[in-house]
Amino acid sequence: MDNATTKKVLDKISPSFCIAKWARTNVRTYEGTSYSCHHCRPIITPKENVVNDHETLTNNDKVKDYRQQMLDGERPEECNYCWTREDQGFVSDRILKSAKFITEHKMNPFTVAEKLTHDPVHLDIAFDRTCNFKCSYCGPQNSSLWAEEISQYGDIEGLPSFVNREQILNKDENPYNDAFWKWWDSGLKNSLRHLTITGGEPLLSKQFWKVLDRVEEEKLDITVMVNTNLCPPVKLFNKFMDRVKNFNQDKLIVSTSIESTGQRAEYSRYGLNYDMFMENFKTILDNTKMRTAVNLTNNALSFTSMTDIVEEITKFKAKYGARRIILHSNDVTYPKYLNLRLLPESIKKQEVAKFKKFMKSNLDQFTEIEKLKFARTLDVALVEEPEKEMYRDQFFKFIKEYDKRRNLNFQDTFPELARVI
C-alpha cells in the first residue's frame, strides 16, 4: 500500500487517525512510563495502577484520551513531530507506521478504531537505563552514565533542565517488571508480532536474557529486535553471539545507531569505540543470518558526516546484501539546540548536495522507504528554524560545558562548524 492510499484509508476514520496509537507501545519499566511511539513524551503510570491492572502499562487513561482525540479528528499535542512534518508537506511517520501495520500485520484500521483499548502488536521495552554510553542527544532518563554526570555537575546553566524521573532502585523488586510478566502470560505474548528490547544497553540487563529464553522456550512467533550500541563489554558481546547460535535467526534483528564516523562519532556518542563498533557489526554479519538495522539520529553535530557514514554502511550492504541492512534516517527534535536546522544555510546546502550526489550512484542499494526517509531529512534540514539564534546560543552553552565535563575539544573535532556557527 502506497502512502497516498494509506492516507485515504486513515482519512475515512479521521484526518488525524494513526494505527500506531493503538498497535504500538513503548514501555520503560525502570521508571514506570509508557508512550505510543518514540516521538511521544512518556506518561507515568502509578505503581498501584499496574499492581491492580497490568494492562495499564499501555491502556492507561491518558492514552485512551489521545485515541479518542484522534477518532474525533483532533490532533493530540504529543504527536507534534508528525503534525509538523505533515504541515510542511512531508510524509509523516503516522502514514509510514500505519501502512506497515496494515500491510505487514494485516490490521484492519476500522476494526482497530472500534475500541479505545488494544494490546500492542509492536512493543518497544526497556527494563533498565544502565548504559556505558552518554550520547550528546540523550540524557539521564535513558542513560545511567548521564545520570551520574548530572548528579555530579548538575544541569547546564542557561539550558532547559534534563528530565530525570524517579527510578526503581531495586531491580529485583520492580512492580512494573512484575506487571509486564503477568501481562505477558495473560495474552501479550500472543498479540505481539514484534518486540524491541532497548535501554540503556539491553545486553547489560538481566531481563533481556530472560526475554530471549521465554521466546525460545515457548516457541513464540515474535520477531525480537535488540537495540544495542554494539560496544558492550567483550564478555557480554561474546555471550550474545553464543546465545543466538540456536535461536531462530529469521526472527532476530540487531538494531544499532550511528550517524557519523571516527572521532566525530566518538565525540557525539560518548563511550563509543568506533573501530569496535564496526568490527562487532562485521562479526554479526559474518557469523549469523540475522537482519540488521542502522539508525541515523541526525543532529547538528552529525549532519556534515551523514554522507560519510551512509557510504560506510553501504559498503556492508554491497558485501552482505542490501536488504539485510536497513538504514533509518531520523532527526533530533529534542534537545532543540542539537536540531540540524540550526546549522548555517551554506553548510546545509553543501551537505544536501553531497548526499544527493552519493545517492545518485547508489540508488540500487536502498529500498523506497530508505530513500523516502533520507529525502525527508534533507528537506527538513533546509526548512528555516524561526528561533535559530536562541537555539544557537543554547548550542554554544551546551558545547562549552560538554567539552569541559568530558575533556573533549569541539573545535578540533568539528573545525568546519567551529569556523561558522
The model's pLDDT over 267-305, given as tens digits with 9 standing for 90+, comes to: 999 999 999 999 999 999 999 999 999 999 999 999 999
Average pLDDT over residues 395-406: 96
| Cα distances (angstroms) measured from residue 162 to each of 8, 150, 415 | 40, 8, 28
| Cα distances (angstroms) measured from residue 186 to each of 25, 54, 117, 332, 339 | 17, 10, 16, 37, 42
Three-state secondary-structure class, residue 331: strand
Cα separation, 225 vs 58, whole angstroms: 20
**What's the pLDDT at 163?**
59
Cα separation, 131 vs 28, whole angstroms: 14
**What's the pLDDT at 419?**
76
For 385, half-sphere exposure in the C-beta direction (CA atoms, 13 angstrom radius) is 21
- Percentage with pLDDT > 70 across the chain: 97
Beta bridge partners of 239: none
Burial grade of 2 (CB within 10 A; 0-12, 13-18, 19 or more): exposed
Question: In this structure, what DSSP letter does residue 137 have?
Answer: T
* Nearest partner of 86 among 376, 389, 303, 328, judged by Cα: 376
**What's the pLDDT at 305?**
97
Say if residue 161's pLDDT is above 80.
Answer: no
How high does pLDDT run on average in the chain? 92
Written as one string, the DSSP assignment of 34-55 is EESSTTSPPEE--HHHHHH-GG
**What's the pLDDT at 318?**
97
Amino acid letter, residue 214 = R
Query: For residues 169 and 309, which has the higher predicted lDDT (pLDDT)?
Result: 309
**What's the pLDDT at 170?**
54
Mean pLDDT is lowest, of 58-62, 150-154, 157-161, 203-207, for 157-161
Query: Using an 8 Å Cβ cutoff, are 28 and 199 in contact?
Result: no
Say if residue 138's pLDDT is above 90.
Answer: yes
For 393, half-sphere exposure in the C-beta direction (CA atoms, 13 angstrom radius) is 7
| Cα distances (angstroms) measured from residue 153 to each of 46, 133, 181, 376 | 30, 17, 37, 37
**What's the pLDDT at 166?**
58
**What's the pLDDT at 171?**
63
Average pLDDT over residues 114-138: 94
Cα separation, 376 vs 287, whole angstroms: 34
Q: Which helix (H) or strand (E) holds 325?
A: strand 325-331
CATH of domain 130-166+193-418: 3.80.30.10
* Nearest partner of 317 among 366, 368, 278, judged by Cα: 366
**What's the pLDDT at 90?**
87
Which residues lie closer than 8 Å to 353 by C-beta, 6 or more apart?
Answer: none
Say if residue 72's pLDDT is above 80.
Answer: yes
Average pLDDT over residues 189-197: 94
Average pLDDT over residues 357-364: 96
Three-state secondary-structure class, residue 374: helix
The model's pLDDT over 4-61, given as tens digits with 9 standing for 90+, comes to: 999 999 999 999 999 999 999 999 999 899 888 878 888 888 888 888 888 888 888 9
* Domain range annotation of the chain: 3-123, 130-166+193-418
The model's pLDDT over 100-113, given as tens digits with 9 standing for 90+, comes to: 899 988 999 999 99
Say if residue 165's pLDDT is above 70.
Answer: no
Average pLDDT over residues 169-197: 88
Res. 167 pLDDT band, cuts 50 70 90: low
**What's the pLDDT at 421?**
66
**What's the pLDDT at 306?**
97
Query: Using an 8 Å Cβ cutoff, are 343 and 303 in contact?
Result: yes
Average pLDDT over residues 216-226: 94
Question: In this structure, what DSSP letter does residue 228 have?
Answer: -
Beta bridge partners of 298: 331
Beta bridge partners of 24: 122
